[in-house]
Structure 1
Amino acid sequence: MVQKKHYEGLTDTEVLKSREQYGANVLTPKEKISLWGQFLEKFEDPLIIVLLIAGFLSICISFWEYWGLHNEDGAAVFFEPIGIFIAIFLATGIAFFFELKADKEFSVLNQVNDEEEVEVIRNGITTTVAKKDIVVGDIVIINTGAEIPADGRLLEAISLYVDESTLNGESVPAHKSTNEEEFEKDASYATNQVLRGTKVMEGHGFFVVEAVGDQTENGKVFEAAQIDDSVKTPLSEQLDGLSVLITKISYIFAGFIIIGRLIVFFHWKPIVWTLAIPTIIFFWLVIKKFNRWKWYVKTIITVAYFCILICSVIVLHDYLLPDKSMSGLFAHLLNTMMIAVTLIVVAVPEGLPMAVTLSLAYSMRRMMRTNNLVRKMHACETMGATTVICTDKTGTLTQNQMRVYQTQFYGLPNQTLNENLTSHLLEEGIAVNSTASLDYTDASNPKVLGNPTEGALLLWLHEHHVSYQEIREEVHIVEELPFTTERKYMAVLVMSALVEGKQILYVKGAPEIVYGLCKQTEGNVPKEVIERQLEGYQEQAMRTLGFAYQILDDNTNVFKEGFVVTDNLTFMGIVAISDPVRSDVPGAVAECMKAGIDVKIVTGDTSRTAKEIGRQIGLWTSHDNERNIITGPEFAALSDGELDKRVADLKIISRARPLDKKRLVESLQRCNEVVAVTGDGTNDAPALQAAHVGLSMGDGTSVAKDASDITIIDNSFSSIGKAVMWGRSLYQNIQRFLLFQLTVNVAACFLVLAGAFMGTESPLTVTQMLWVNLIMDTFAAMALASLPPSEKVMKDKPRDRNAFIINRSMGWNIIGVGGFFFLLLFALLYIFEHSNITTLKDILHLKLGEENGLSPYELTLLFTIFVMTHFFYLFNARAFETGRSALHFKGCRGLLFIISIIFIGQIAMVEIPILQNFFNIVKGGLSLEDWIIILTASSMVLWIREAWHLLKTLNR
């Protein structure tokens, strides 16, 4: 026999003393790599290493030119190599800073578990505190689905089974008890002991905390939870493939640049073309074979190629240019290698992982403000591809504020509690046959702890001035049968003072099930009357409960194999409990349906109740029929093939069983749907894990939250719609970054390649290309990743999960705009090489002559025009497929800040003397007149787009 006792718990003073003595209930995370170590990791990129080596060799050559050749430029020969190092450190430093920023965004995830609410008894009342605030000596209440917050010793345990697999690896839940006769000698942990991090699979109980934080068994083997950003989603797989493709193309460009610059250096002599052979072989191996080989094989082949190339070039130099100094050859060869490697650095969008990471981090932080706590990073993106949402009813579509709407107790004609036996039996049955409790911290407005339906009954007692706590303390519980979705009722056998020497069995659950167990009804009410009353409540989407009791002798057999087997139960009546639809849900459901997302309700309620809720939220219409709704038993009877054929038509599954939702998810996935699932109970965990995105509720069980990817803090369906909007907007932000970055790459790669074969100096020097890489890659990634979501995306259909991220419109923009920029810059390159331009106005009376090379002023003009045309194109890229003006900046403070840095940085580089030296800018910079011409002409990229947008808007 188990007796429910009254516990006082700790006082506030005792809590403070315990925390001071034993510490807080948090686990100390393992040490992270130092900031210095994290910064050095940025230099592990092979291309950065090559640039560092090239920069070091460049400095050595500069020393030789300065000390050995006494170069007339003096100390200026050191500016370019120093500029290379500055650009490298600037790029890696920026990347390091924003990775730290992203880590800070993610750190909230490691704190989520510590903030979860736990039921405890303190100061003699039941209340909730954060898990981290549990202390040694606290008395904790645990129910089915709860995660044990600390190590402790059981005070009471009713049908308690705990999953300890996180500690001992055993898949079978361990039975827990306070009865020494039931102790298992061979158990991994004591039968009367519960441990932090384990989960209650069945039953409930009380335990006193004996260890917290690092002193728990879980703490002793704890490894700090790390954010899992290694999950391969459709987006990450697409981006990986795109990066590989771009890298391979950049290798081809680099190979052509090496060949082109060497051929031009040797004046196009036919024999020089033989240098193409080792270069082609080397880059073919790099593209096709390097991923399969060990690092030392790659190193040997790379060294071999450079040795062959250098030896070949030296031989050709002695043969073709015997009168020329070898120093010029080495300087040209080193510069060629640096340009080739730098072009690869510029072409490969290193900012892409940063754009994805920052987009996800930004989305996670902002989604928190819309009540979406993202627990797994990839879920942000996957929500944008969702095509079906399988949702619970209670708490998600409804308010989850259960209150007793009406009672029909047949032994109480006036439906009011009084002093007769039936009334006392009813009070006692409600009080003891329940796992819920009330938090009286705010005595005028008690808070339900536990199941909200059961809590509504306790609140009904409270409204009738009946103390459920006092009743529980007076009753001796003999045996309990917890509620399960399979039997749909719960029962408790007690020794009560109401009938001396007798035991009383109380049963509560689905009215039709409980009524079926009964032999008679109070007041002899006909079955037809009860059924009519039930139908009336259910048609109003109310939850109904039936109540029964039986007074027994001590030797009566009550339970057998988990079911009630007595044969003389009396049906007491029914209660209607209402949970109204949330006011924002109809609009949110309509929004999702307009966005091409199907909504399906999976509920344990009756078909009438489920259809009424569906009607209220706009899901169930007059056009729907029996093909659009199915009951749990009917659902289970379908074969997988039959289900797959029907699943698209289903809108509601009523009287659903625990695994029905998981089977529904699997069927939808077989039909190539991207599925999001909501759930709040332990029985929802399989479906949450099976779904592409699992959405747990804020007041759901720990098991459900652990299985989910996102926790909806306010339980509202409208928050799910916001998560879809964020996911779609995030995907578009990454598309915009790719549009911009690849347009820059097309123009830069072809321009440098053209310069290599024209025999000019490289139109963009190494330091200039690194600056372009910094502002057009890293900064652009930051700017476009932080764009706010657009509600317009909810008017689109879900994207094809398998579609290539660069769509047709993007492809034409990249080729068209990038090609146009290249042709424009190539024309200017040709003009500058065949004329003497001292100001851009000279182009108005242009006379082309012989090739005369590029002056520093012309190279500065070319570089500035390249940067500014792409600067203004950044505005166009951020407005791509938004239907808005490119000058729409609401909510884009981050974008404006970064654009300002790019603009001011470019002007500073051209005009500040010390920066001019580092970035190969003409001394004195550009004239104000040329700046005005460049800015005016470059901005035409923006104004033409705006004019076209205005025309389209007027024609709508």
Structure 2
Amino acid sequence: MAFVTIYCSRAFSSCLKAKKNNKKVSPFLPSNSVIVIDVPKPPHPRFRNIDKSSLTQLVKKKNLNQLVGKHGGVQGLASDLKTNLENGINGDDEEDISRRHKAFGSNTYQRPPTKRFYRFVWEALKDPTIIILLVCAAFSLGFGIKENGLKEGCKNIQIDVVRNGMRQQVSIFEIVVGDVVRLKIGDQVADGFGRMLVTSVGISTTWGEMMSTINHDTNEQTPLQARLNKLTSTIDKVGLVVTFLVLVVLLVRYFTGNTKDANGNTEFNGNKTKVNDIINCVVGIVAAVVTIVVVAIPEGLPLAVTLTLAYSMKRMMADQAMVKKLSTCETMGSATVICTDKTSTLTLNQMKVTKFWLGQESMEERNSTSISDNVLELLHQGVGLNTTGTVYKYTSGSEFEFSGSPTGKAILFWAVMELNMDMEKLKQSCSILYVEAFNSTKKRSSVSMRKKDDNTINVHWKGAAEMVLAMCSHYYDVSGEIKVLDDVERKQFYQMIQGMASSSLRCIAFAHKKV
């Protein structure tokens, strides 16, 4: 009805203008108007106060007035999306996830056919026999790998989200509107860490809209493909020389009577050989040589490597522990130089605290009861508050679950299990005043906190041991006494750090200052 009303009004308006100007015009085809009506999709019953289109416009136009005036700020927007900014969405409820998919879409986009695809179809139409043979070969090997499957594995990034009050990792394709994402060092953000409320996914985002329209037939190459292309270019040059020699040898053998047909008769016998037979034989030799130059040499090696990678990828998919390593297989397979950190190790990034020094004493043979109460309290604060990781425990009898960076999880596990740290009790007894996130330049992070019982304020630092040591003027011993850090003792600490680093250990130091 809206369309008919607007269309007719525009048509009559055009007729009136035409009549005034003594022109003839059809009332059904307005000559000077183009009507575009965007009919918004009605809101989902679960999300009555917000819809997909308004969310999309809110983000794309960066309309702060709309965010505050219409939705009541971030808190109001989260309420409209049925999201708790602390605990996230109800991730255990599959129906809730399904409703969000229906209301706001999924975090995927439809790729347009590429130029390579059209060339593939054209070649298939010209020579269907070759395509049938290739399809049969692919199915006989049981690849089951989609086009660009190797690249897609690299894009399946794992994201930290909070759902049902618990921090967990999900695929980037499983993110839904309303999710609370925990950002950390290494994510595609400027620096630091924080939380992000997801308001748009898939083609509703600027990135998704752009990626769904552009052609993906680009010249982007993986390191392995670049090396293969370089090798193929060299093979082409050598192959042309070899092929030319092969052509000369075959023609000389033929015209000197040294080749025989299937019946064992000499193919060329001077004037007795028919011209038609000579032409057919020469054409066959040239065709075979051209086939080698055009197909076998430039495409043989890349095809062999691609088939090997595809087969290996499928075999690795059977082992779930290897799935996360798929994205690095192709790159590592073509690596010639590997640069590591000062410990010179390549690990699974699964860490564990193996040594603990307090002052100049190793605590390997001691337990937490031998540490003075004031130092133990400071350690709890430095570990539990100066971190982006979390500790969960579902019920009183269940085991602890740790999340965060590999280093952070290892330190949290050590503090909870070895130093008897109670994360919940610690957070209730202190308030955070300021946080400085870890970055690769400073190699340390800090937190300023206030104890609620006596209002004392401490700044806690955590980071690379040599960086933290350079900031310190005193140190604690096991009994809790503060001692001056002179040049001699500072040198001893550096030697201890170097000794642990030479044993392939990552050295982390804690320091504090009462302010």
Residue pair 2:243, 2:293 contacting (<8 A) in 1 also: yes
Residue pair 2:474, 2:482 contacting (<8 A) in 1 also: yes
Amino acid of the structure 2 residue aligned with 1:127: Q
The structural deviation recorded for 1:355 is: 3.2
Residue pair 1:431, 1:469 contacting (<8 A) in 2 also: no
Distance 2:412 2:351 in 1: 13
Residue pair 2:466, 2:497 contacting (<8 A) in 1 also: no
Structure 1 residue aligned with 2:499, among 521, 533, 539? 539
Residue pair 2:431, 2:452 contacting (<8 A) in 1 also: no
Residue pair 2:154, 2:327 contacting (<8 A) in 1 also: no
Residue in structure 1 matched with residue 198 of structure 2 by the alignment: 209
Distance 1:407 1:510 in 2: 14
The structural deviation recorded for 1:142 is: 0.7
**Are 1:138 and 2:175 matched, yes or no?**
no
Residue in structure 2 matched with residue 772 of structure 1 by the alignment: none
Given the superposition, is the C-alpha separation of residues 265 and 539 from structure 1 closer, same or farther in structure 2, using an over 3 Å criterion?
closer
**Are 1:228 and 2:221 matched, yes or no?**
yes
Summarize deviations over 1:599-635 as a string: whole Å, max 9, x none: xxxxxxxxxxxxxxxxxxxxxxxxxxxxxxxxxxxxx
Residue in structure 2 matched with residue 493 of structure 1 by the alignment: 448
Q: How does 1:563-574 map to 2 (within 5 A)?
A: none
Distance 2:298 2:134 in 1: 10
Structure 2 residue aligned with 1:400, among 350, 353, 360? 350
Given the superposition, is the C-alpha separation of residues 537 and 400 from structure 1 closer, same or farther in structure 2, using an over 3 Å criterion?
farther
The structural deviation recorded for 1:422 is: 4.8
Residue pair 1:18, 1:135 contacting (<8 A) in 2 also: yes
Residue pair 1:505, 1:550 contacting (<8 A) in 2 also: yes
Residue pair 1:433, 1:506 contacting (<8 A) in 2 also: yes
Residue in structure 1 matched with residue 410 of structure 2 by the alignment: 456
The TM-score, its normalising length taken from structure 2, stands at 0.60
Residue in structure 1 matched with residue 482 of structure 2 by the alignment: 524
The structural deviation recorded for 1:207 is: 0.5
Distance 1:547 1:378 in 2: 37
Given the superposition, is the C-alpha separation of residues 106 and 496 from structure 1 closer, same or farther in structure 2, using an over 3 Å criterion?
farther
Residue in structure 2 matched with residue 8 of structure 1 by the alignment: 87
Summarize deviations over 1:505-539 as a string: whole Å, max 9, x none: 11223444434433433413354667657745753
Residue pair 1:506, 1:548 contacting (<8 A) in 2 also: yes
Q: How does 1:30-69 map to 2 (within 5 A)?
A: 30-31=112-113, 38=120, 40-41=122-123
Amino acid of the structure 1 residue aligned with 2:86: Y
Distance 2:128 2:286 in 1: 16
Amino acid of the structure 2 residue aligned with 1:432: L
Pick 1 or 2: higher relative contact order, CA cutoff 8 A, min separation 6. 1
Given the superposition, is the C-alpha separation of residues 530 and 258 from structure 1 closer, same or farther in structure 2, using an over 3 Å criterion?
closer
RMSD: 4.6
Given the superposition, is the C-alpha separation of residues 92 and 482 from structure 1 closer, same or farther in structure 2, using an over 3 Å criterion?
closer
**Are 1:436 and 2:394 matched, yes or no?**
no
Structure 2 residue aligned with 1:239, among 226, 235, 238? 235
Amino acid of the structure 1 residue aligned with 2:167: T
Describe the SS at the equivalent of 2:377.
helix
Describe the SS at the equivalent of 1:202.
coil
Structure 1 residue aligned with 2:296, among 341, 351, 361? 351
Describe the SS at the equivalent of 1:342.
helix
Structure 1 residue aligned with 2:438, among 483, 493, 499? 483
The structural deviation recorded for 1:212 is: 1.5
**Unpaired segments ≥5 residues, structure 1:** 45-87, 147-198, 270-327, 553-956
Structure 1 residue aligned with 2:512, among 537, 546, 549? 549
Describe the SS at the equivalent of 2:195.
strand
Residue in structure 2 matched with residue 509 of structure 1 by the alignment: 463
Amino acid of the structure 2 residue aligned with 1:202: D
The structural deviation recorded for 1:364 is: 1.7
Residue pair 2:154, 2:326 contacting (<8 A) in 1 also: no
Residue pair 1:493, 1:503 contacting (<8 A) in 2 also: yes
The structural deviation recorded for 1:332 is: 5.0
Structure 2 residue aligned with 1:129, among 170, 176, 190? 170
Aligned length: 388
Amino acid of the structure 2 residue aligned with 1:344: V
Q: How does 1:558-597 map to 2 (within 5 A)?
A: none
Given the superposition, is the C-alpha separation of residues 247 and 97 from structure 1 closer, same or farther in structure 2, using an over 3 Å criterion?
farther
The structural deviation recorded for 1:218 is: 1.1
Residue in structure 1 matched with residue 73 of structure 2 by the alignment: none
The structural deviation recorded for 1:334 is: 6.1
Amino acid of the structure 1 residue aligned with 2:159: V
Structure 2 residue aligned with 1:111, among 146, 152, 159? 152
Residue pair 1:407, 1:415 contacting (<8 A) in 2 also: no
Given the superposition, is the C-alpha separation of residues 127 and 103 from structure 1 closer, same or farther in structure 2, using an over 3 Å criterion?
closer
Distance 1:224 1:440 in 2: 48
Q: Which has the higher helix share?
A: 1
Describe the SS at the equivalent of 1:104.
coil
**Are 1:267 and 2:271 matched, yes or no?**
yes
Summarize deviations over 1:449-492 as a string: whole Å, max 9, x none: 33333322222332245343564466544333333444333222
Distance 1:334 1:137 in 2: 74
Residue pair 2:232, 2:298 contacting (<8 A) in 1 also: no
Distance 2:232 2:171 in 1: 36
Given the superposition, is the C-alpha separation of residues 375 and 248 from structure 1 closer, same or farther in structure 2, using an over 3 Å criterion?
farther
Q: Which has the larger radius of gyration?
A: 1
**Are 1:200 and 2:189 matched, yes or no?**
yes
Summarize deviations over 1:632-658 as a string: whole Å, max 9, x none: xxxxxxxxxxxxxxxxxxxxxxxxxxx
Given the superposition, is the C-alpha separation of residues 405 and 135 from structure 1 closer, same or farther in structure 2, using an over 3 Å criterion?
same
Residue in structure 1 matched with residue 101 of structure 2 by the alignment: 19
Given the superposition, is the C-alpha separation of residues 397 and 513 from structure 1 closer, same or farther in structure 2, using an over 3 Å criterion?
same
Summarize deviations over 1:381-429 as a string: whole Å, max 9, x none: x45xx4x54444477258732226335279x997449995554343222
Q: Percent identity?
A: 19
Q: How does 1:69-88 map to 2 (within 5 A)?
A: none
Distance 1:116 1:441 in 2: 27
Amino acid of the structure 2 residue aligned with 1:360: V
Describe the SS at the equivalent of 1:461.
helix
The structural deviation recorded for 1:135 is: 1.0
Distance 1:132 1:16 in 2: 14
